[in-house]
Structure 1
Amino acid sequence: MNRTIRNVTLYPLTTQRRYGRPSQHIVVRLDGAGLSGWGEMSDLSHLPAMMPDLRDLECCLRVLLIGRDPIDTNGIEDLMLLNFPGSRFYGKACLVRAGISIAAHDLKARILGIPLSDLLGGARRTRIPVCYPIFRLKDRADVPGRCELVKQQLDRGFTRFRFYFGLDSDADEAFLESVFASYGGLIELVALDGSGMFTVPGFLRAYRRLCRFPFQMIESPVHRDDVDSIAEARRAIDHPISEHVESPEYGVRLIRAHAVDIFNISVTVAGGIEGMLRLFALAHSANRECVVGTTQELSLATAAQAHVGAVTPKLDYASDPVGPALYCADVVREPVRYEAGDLLVPTGLGLGVEVDFDRVQAMAAPLSAADDAITSLSRG
């Protein structure tokens, strides 16, 4: 049997969220050895406000990948990094790398007849604690709806939460007061996430108002590329700081500056499975703690993250991949499963989830960045 990659196909689609704006994705299909490997370029509805020319990207990927051995995932990852350099915070090349990486590993594991976690050395755990996102409040009018959202997720089994703060500190404070008064003994607030939107003084003003509430970490307090300011923020507060780590080079900068305690590592920001593994190895070598991050993926990329999270030596806090619980639809027959607030690591071949092509077609939609443009911005 000819084992080489025979075709590359990209499928653009849009998914509605249970709350918040819809997200756009590209599903990736690699055909070879009579099988298909599936991947995902997740949640492209982020800056920069531009989308790839899908047909041109598909043609480029066919030139690069058709005829290559799908068993050689290292060679494929190296080829992707050579042709699509760049990080999550400056472009979308890393999403291309991530989608191909996931599909290539899925195809390789299916050819070998094993789960992805076995391909990566064997699972150390079968479930990963996760936290559900509570997105930013625009003002106090959003407080009742966000409190109801916490109640709904508690009813679904989610007890850990990540709260995105910073647009309106009065609303943030009112929400936390209300939610802890109502559910304080039932919930765990894992992180306050600033998404890098603050200056150092602005972050400290917000932090001092919210630090009286019980939470475990601060995520992305200031601009992610300003390592000196992250370190300044860390010296000024009593909570550990977590940051999305995009590359080993960036991770070394954070370590040398004593800027963060926790590496937030995700398949999209790291640009693939090999990128995730390298960052986990760096974090462990530098005695930094780790979580699996997210950009809110569908089940394909969430399954990939679960397999990587299953094989890494340790995870220190509840992780973030809850996209399949956030979206109203998915592209697989059976989405990844959550139980008692944990993401269960799939056990089938490859990623352990099976694509339903009828669902892919039903969710098909052209890519557009028109709704991603920011027309006004202020930093606290």
Structure 2
Amino acid sequence: MAIDGCDRWTIWPNRRTCSIGVIRFVDSFSVTVRTLWDTRSHRPMTSRWSPGWPITSGRRRRSTNYPVGSSAPADLQTSHPPTTPDHNIVKITALRATPVRIPRPTAFTSSLGTHAATENAVIEIETDSGLVGIGESSSIWDRMGVGCADDINGLLAGLLVGRDAARIRELTDLMDAHLDRAQPAKAGIEMALWDLLGKSVDAPVYQLLGGAVRDKVELSHSLSMGTVEQVMEQAERLVGEGYRTLKMKVGRDPASDAANLESLRSRYPELKLRVDANMGWRNPKEAVRDIHDLEAFGIEMVEQPLHGSDLEGLRFVREHVEVPIMADESVWTPSDAMACVRAGAVDVFNVYVAEAGGIGPAARIFGIADAARLTCIIGSMPEFGIGTSAQAHLAFAMPNIGYGSDVNGFVYHQDDVVDHSLRIEDGHLLPPTGPGLGVQLDAERLARYRMD
């Protein structure tokens, strides 16, 4: 197998440990599936997706069945055919995005505004293999679904149709080179490529990311701004459903924020409470003053107290309060994460698949956080079932999640456009099932909620 101009070498499967079909690894924040093996014969299976992939990063892995420095046993030695331009390519034949609007059961209010529905875009990628990958572009902003669909159906479709769907990192870099910052649009395509990959090898995406590191994911749930009575009504329902972490939106009215938190803490003394300002405080000193008042209620952390670009201000706040500061709008991309680390601005990253530009970039943010000894959570826009499924696979594969995550966007909506395998029990998300993302598009519901 040729490796981007490096010397040719041979991969030997480990007879004792190769008990599953997909050999996979995570290295240098880059995720690559190496090859697909028939573990009974120790020979490569026939697959259009393997072997022969260009490997973008990673070190040679050594079998542990024989001494270091010796050759592999003859029955384990396997050679791969040379890689040619047309070898094992699955070409993208069509790419389309459909803007969709799904109502919420009740309107949701934060410092950014009030939303009665969610407008996202559903992406479908067709290939010459017959497989179809499904993705979702999500955002909190109205009409963003239409904007993402326009970007995808125009520029991005022209870039990607005819290319090899297996080269996820290469296609992600290509999109970044031609379309700056439009992360939700690129994320929808990227997660559809992961869905294709998982379907092609009959494996869930979290297995391709290195395998599950937990059996369940603790969830948090956001509370809409409102009166004390409205907030307590939401909290009673959610605690009854098993949630043990709730997030309250703050930053508009300090007196109202304090009254709501006081009622919540008095009623639920064991509940984990965090607050999210959504950049609501005007300056660092105002943020520090109000956070000091809120600390009396035993809050878990404060999310994005200042504007996303104000890293110096965030560092000031972090140095003058006792609770952890979490970045959201400040950490869209891996480069944003590096800037936060250099500035010493925050303690926690809130990682969004849509903001990062896809599953792979989000995983790289987790890697940066891990190297900086920071923890993360996974945040929600909220998403429909497709985007939530992408978050779920990431949540089960990333080790440095330190708090409850918002991997439950689908529960904020009256309906969905897919059938999915996501299940929530006692405030925890269970592992998704099925190949790829584990979602099946419902054509009738897609047509029903489509935006003209």
Where on the TM-score scale, by shorter chain, does this alignment land: which range?
A: 0.7 to 0.9
Q: What amino acid is aligned across from residue 263 of structure 2 in structure 1?
A: S
Measure the CA separation in 1 of the matches of 2:219 and 2:365.
20
Q: Which residue of 1 is the match for residue 98 of structure 2?
A: 11
What runs of 5+ residues in structure 1 fail to find an aligned partner? 87-92, 367-380
Q: What amino acid is aligned across from residue 171 of structure 1 in structure 2?
A: S
Q: What amino acid is aligned across from residue 60 of structure 1 in structure 2?
A: L
- RMSD over aligned CA atoms reads 1.9
Q: Which residue of 2 is the match for residue 342 of structure 1?
A: 428
Q: 1:261-315: per-residue Cα shift (whole Å, max 9, x none)?
A: 1111110111111111111111111111111122111111111111111111221
1:50–1:259 CA distance, 2 compared to 1 (3 A):
same
Instruction: State yes or no: 1:276 paired with 2:355.
Output: no
8 Å Cα contact 2:101/2:120 also seen in 1? yes
Give the TM-score taking structure 2 as reference length: 0.74
1:265–1:173 CA distance, 2 compared to 1 (3 A):
same
Residue 248 of structure 1, CA deviation:
2.6
8 Å Cα contact 1:25/1:43 also seen in 2? yes
Give the TM-score taking structure 1 as reference length: 0.88
Percent of counterpart pairs with the same letter?
Answer: 30
Instruction: State yes or no: 1:40 paired with 2:129.
Output: no
Measure the CA separation in 2 of the matches of 1:268 and 1:181.
36
**Higher-strand-fraction structure:** 2
Given candidates 229, 234, 245, the residue that maps to 2:318 is: 234
Measure the CA separation in 1 of the matches of 2:95 and 2:415.
24
Measure the CA separation in 1 of the matches of 2:433 and 2:382.
21
8 Å Cα contact 1:324/1:336 also seen in 2? no
| SS of 2:387 mapped into structure 1 | helix
Residue 181 of structure 1, CA deviation:
2.2
How many equivalent pairs are there?
Answer: 353
8 Å Cα contact 2:166/2:197 also seen in 1? yes
Q: Which residue of 2 is the match for residue 127 of structure 1?
A: 216
Measure the CA separation in 2 of the matches of 1:251 and 1:3.
33
Q: Which residue of 1 is the match for residue 298 of structure 2?
A: 214
8 Å Cα contact 2:334/2:364 also seen in 1? yes
Q: Which residue of 2 is the match for residue 153 of structure 1?
A: 238
Residue 177 of structure 1, CA deviation:
1.8
Residue 127 of structure 1, CA deviation:
1.8
Measure the CA separation in 2 of the matches of 1:249 and 1:211.
31
Q: Which residue of 1 is the match for residue 439 of structure 2?
A: 353
Measure the CA separation in 2 of the matches of 1:217 and 1:26.
32
User: Equivalent residues in 2 for 1:131-142 (5 A)?
Assistant: 131-137=220-226, 142=227
Instruction: State yes or no: 1:108 paired with 2:197.
Output: yes
Instruction: State yes or no: 1:52 paired with 2:136.
Output: no
Q: Which runs of 4+ in 1 moved over 6 A?
A: none
Q: 1:160-219: per-residue Cα shift (whole Å, max 9, x none)?
A: 10111111122111112222222334x221x21111121112212321221100221111
Measure the CA separation in 1 of the matches of 2:234 and 2:151.
41
Measure the CA separation in 1 of the matches of 2:221 and 2:150.
35
Q: Which residue of 2 is the match for residue 373 of structure 1?
A: none
1:181–1:56 CA distance, 2 compared to 1 (3 A):
closer
Measure the CA separation in 1 of the matches of 2:249 and 2:223.
6
8 Å Cα contact 2:277/2:303 also seen in 1? yes
8 Å Cα contact 1:109/1:350 also seen in 2? yes
8 Å Cα contact 2:220/2:404 also seen in 1? yes
1:53–1:316 CA distance, 2 compared to 1 (3 A):
closer
By relative contact order (CA 8 Å, sep 6+), the higher-ranking structure is 1
Q: Which residue of 2 is the match for residue 325 of structure 1?
A: 411
